[in-house]
Chains A and B, each alone.
Chain A
């Protein structure tokens, strides 16, 4: 009875922790909000305010004089006529963008592809970057963009991911260990598969999103991919925590060293992202290794053994082995 009630308490605690994670997105305006336009005619009239970023994949959108977009405009297709104000950046990847004489862009105008028409009176407050590719949109943090704000954001993210790892360690400890074994025992294989899954998976999800009808499937896939990455980080956090507790001779419960390991790993990755050259590469590689290990072990339900482990392949390395194949 005691163990059952203890288990129920743990389940309730887990739900509470997960709810806390979800509640982060539920302040008055949410962490992030945006508008997705895929087809049809949309006109935003004078005095109208559009909150968040706007993504245009198709259709005809008009932002009349006096209308304001409080975010960035990301164009992948369709046609957009602007005579109003856009507070953020405008990124043109595809489609037709017409900036009228009263148009005002508060940020940069980045043109990767597509057709751009600019009237003489257009005001661009930031830089005009033609043909240099387009920066990916990044959701604003809870604590702003200053350095202390970004560090606070990093700590919050590391804490939330560590809580997720804690839940995994509590409820699925063996699968987590199998993923950790694959990630640490076969980092090259895991990394290779992780990169492949990342590239191909993202391409497939983007392609699905373009069909419009498959957008929900695409979103689900994206969430699954994100959770897989998180699972991979947790497994690597477990490996790190285990090594640390062994090295420092700490007597910790297994769940606690998973929490600490994941927290330290993510904090370290976030710190590395401030360094110039390593910022993108190392966190991506670590994520790829984790993701690949998750896939190799089929979410931790199987132990990974490389296929080329045939006994005779190692004959050159063993003494007294079979010396001839005849």
Chain B
């Protein structure tokens, strides 16, 4: 880890950058997977009185709006050069955190559908701006070599907290839990953005220049073109499609599993704390494994693992709906594998977009990556899941389709790996020879 080098050379500014990024991203992701994704359902169904299908449709709207806003804002950031202005991004991040704090306080008091929709639009605004801003800070704060490890820490913290700390999915509980974290975060960000103190200046000023150093600003998959310019690898488009596939498969499968009491109550909604700790621990271990492997394996192998595990998990769920596997109650093997797959791809998602970018284009690439693959996939899979539920598609068939999709991506990747072997990390001879991009 390069962080040890900075520790050895007492480079406190860069180390502070690590802490700032890990803090912002882990809280942001924890907020997203718990408050936004789970709290929204409770708010819509219990407090506003909407049907589950209506709430799911509104969540689709949230995803669509976020995608559009992120793309527009990412494009604006790139055109105006904002993605290279660290202090400007820090102030934008402060604005996002402030808006989310207000939304956290307001959420439990919403009782009308119009209020609910307004809350969704405002949340989309915060997420749409937050995604390109936060992700573009990776190039300012985290060196290429440590991106996998940092992503592992972010994923571990977010999923551990989501599984152990946020076990009660009522919006009032979420709001009470998050409001103090968000207020603390807002105050901290305000201090960094607007208070002129010498030690803060000493910490932040070097961070604003770090993206100009190759160790920070040139992603792992960025190559130098014959004219000398740095250019993102063409792999970017393939990676967006692959990440879209992962988000789509995850969301389509999970929506049905979480709506099935038999599976939900034996895992993510279990009354036993031990089950939550087990799932949280699996997320942590899998994230750490993913962090190490992200730096060591090439992207094809990583994606093969992710799709392979998803296919295996959905196959197990499909089997459990048939009398092949004894299933008097849900087994933890399936949520364990699910947690492993989710942690693996989350780590890849946190590292990948910075690694296909330069400081000039990170905001648009991150917006494309996270919004198009993540949010758009969520939107389409949500719409599809609702349609299937309305049409009465049995659980078994639903999971079979998800499993088949995972298998399809897995096999397509396998074929891709076999016929286009360039850029393999594993080489035949010459130990110590460096991998070329």
B is bound to A: yes
Complex alpha-carbon distance, A309 and B333, angstroms: 35
Which residue of the partner chain, among B213, B297, B435, contacts A315 with CB atoms under 8 Å?
A: B213
CB <8 Å contact, A313 and B220:
yes
Residue B190 CB within 8 A of the other chain: no
- Interface residue from A181, A192, A199 paired with B292 (Cβ < 8 Å): A192
- On chain A, the residues within 8 Å of B430 by CB distance are 303
**B397 contacts the other chain (CB 8 A):** no
> Beyond the given A302-B428, A316-B5, A325-B217, could you list 9 further A-B residue pairs with CB under 8 A, ordered by the A residue number?
A196-B293, A196-B305, A200-B308, A207-B312, A303-B428, A305-B431, A307-B297, A309-B435, A317-B5
Q: Say yes or no: is A322 at the interface (Cβ < 8 Å to chain B).
A: yes
**Docked pose: A113 CA to B328 CA in angstroms:** 7
Question: Are A315 and B214 in contact (CB-based, < 8 A)?
Answer: yes
Chain A residue with Cβ nearest B210: A316
Cα–Cα distance between A77 and B215 once the two chains are bound (Å): 56
Q: In this complex, what residue of B is CB-closest to A115?
A: B328
Contact A196 B289 (CB under 8 A): yes
Across the interface, A181 reaches (CB within 8 A) one of B2, B331, B427, B431, namely: B431
Per a CB cutoff under 8 Å, which of A76, A94, A311, A323 touches B213?
A323
Q: Which of A186, A188, A303, A308 contacts B144 (CB 8 A)?
A: A308
Question: Given that A207-B312, A316-B5 are contacting pairs, would A308 and B296 also be in contact in the complex, using a CB cutoff of 8 Å?
Answer: yes
Name the residue on B nearest A197 (C-beta). Answer: B305
Query: What are 18 A-B contacts with C-beta separation under 8 Å?
Result: A94-B326, A193-B289, A195-B289, A196-B289, A203-B333, A206-B333, A207-B315, A297-B426, A302-B427, A303-B427, A307-B298, A311-B434, A312-B218, A313-B144, A316-B213, A317-B2, A322-B214, A325-B359
User: Given known contacts A200-B308, A308-B220, A325-B214, is B324 in contact with A210 (CB within 8 Å)?
Assistant: yes
Which residues of A line the B interface, CB within 8 A?
57-58, 76-78, 93-95, 113-115, 181, 186, 188-189, 191-193, 195-196, 199-200, 203-204, 206-207, 210-211, 296-298, 302-317, 321-326
> Bound complex: CA of A95 vs CA of B329, how far in Å?
11
8 Å CB interface, B294-322 against A: 294-298, 305, 308-309, 312, 315-316, 319
Could you tell me if B145 and A186 are in contact, using CB atoms closer than 8 angstroms?
no
Interface centre among B148, B214, B285, B435 (most CB of A within 10 A): B214
Q: Quick check: is B415 within 8 A (CB to CB) of the other chain? A: no
User: Chain B's nearest CB lies how many Å from the CB of A129?
Assistant: 16
CB-based contact A298/B426 at 8 Å: yes
Residues of B within 8 A of A297 (CB): 426
Answer whether residue B381 sits at the interface, using C-beta atoms and an 8 A cutoff.
no
Q: Which residues of A contact B212 (CB under 8 A)?
A: 324-326
One digit per residue, 1 when the CB lies within 8 angstroms of any chain A CB and 0 when it does not, for chain B 375-408 equals: 0000000000000000000000000000000000
Bound CA–CA A78/B323 (angstroms):
10
Establish whether residues B432 and A305, one from each chain, have CB atoms under 8 Å apart when the complex forms. yes
- A192 and B293 form a contact (CB under 8 A): yes
User: Sorted from nearest, which 5 A-B pairs have the closest CB atoms?
Assistant: A94-B326, A77-B326, A307-B425, A312-B214, A192-B292
Inside 8 A of A196's CB, which chain B residues have their CB? 289, 293, 305, 340
Name the residue on B nearest A177 (C-beta): B431
- Write out the residue numbers on chain B whose beta carbons fall within 8 Å of the beta carbon of A189: 292-293, 295-296
Complexed CA–CA distance, A304 and B315 (Å): 32
> Contact: B289 with A207, CB < 8 Å?
no
**Bound-state Cα–Cα, A226 to B279, Å:** 27
A-contacting residues of B (Cβ < 8 Å)? 2, 5, 143-145, 148, 212-215, 217-218, 220, 230, 285, 288-289, 292-298, 305, 308-309, 312, 315-316, 319, 324-329, 331, 333, 336-337, 340, 358-359, 425-435, 437
How far, in angstroms, from A76 to B327 measured CA to CA in the complex?
Answer: 10
Q: How far is the CA of A115 from the CA of B329 in the complex (A)?
A: 11
Tell me which of A77, A309, A314 has the highest count of chain B C-beta atoms within 10 A of its own C-beta: A309
In the assembly, what is the distance between CA of A315 and CA of B359, in Å?
17
A196 to chain B: closest residue by CB = B289
Residues on B with C-beta less than 8 A from A311 are 434
Residues of B within 8 A of A313 (CB): 143-145, 214-215, 220
Query: What distance in Å separates the Cβ of B248 from its nearest Cβ neighbour in chain A?
Result: 21
Known: A114-B328, A203-B337, A211-B324. A312 touches B295 (CB 8 A): no
Most buried by B among A93, A95, A206, A315: A315
Chain A residues with CB under 8 A of B217: 325
**Measured CA separation A309–B432 after assembly (Å):** 10
CB distance A192 to B288 under 8 Å? yes
Min Cβ gap A153→B in Å is: 31
Q: Which of A78, A204, A313 neighbours the largest number of chain B CB atoms within 10 Å of its CB?
A: A313
Distance between Cα atoms of A322 and B212 in the complex (Å): 10
Chain A hits for B437, CB < 8 A: 310
Min distance, Cβ A100 to any Cβ of chain B, angstroms: 21
Minimum CB–CB distance for A270 against chain B, Å = 26
A95 to chain B, nearest CB (A): 5
Query: Nearest Cβ in chain A — how far from B266, in angstroms?
Result: 10
Measured CB to CB, the nearest residue on chain B to A303 is B431
Q: Which residues of A contact B2 (CB under 8 A)?
A: 316-317
Question: B334 — nearest CB in chain A belongs to which residue?
Answer: A203
Chain A neighbourhood of B331, CB < 8 A: 113
Q: Which residues of B lie under 8 Å from residue A95 when comparing CB positions?
A: 326, 328
User: Distance (Å) between the CB of B223 and the closest chain A CB?
Assistant: 10
B341 CB to nearest A CB, Å: 9
CB distance from A292 to the nearest CB of B (A): 10
Contact of B148 among A78, A308, A312 (CB under 8 A): A308
Contact B426 A296 (CB under 8 A): yes
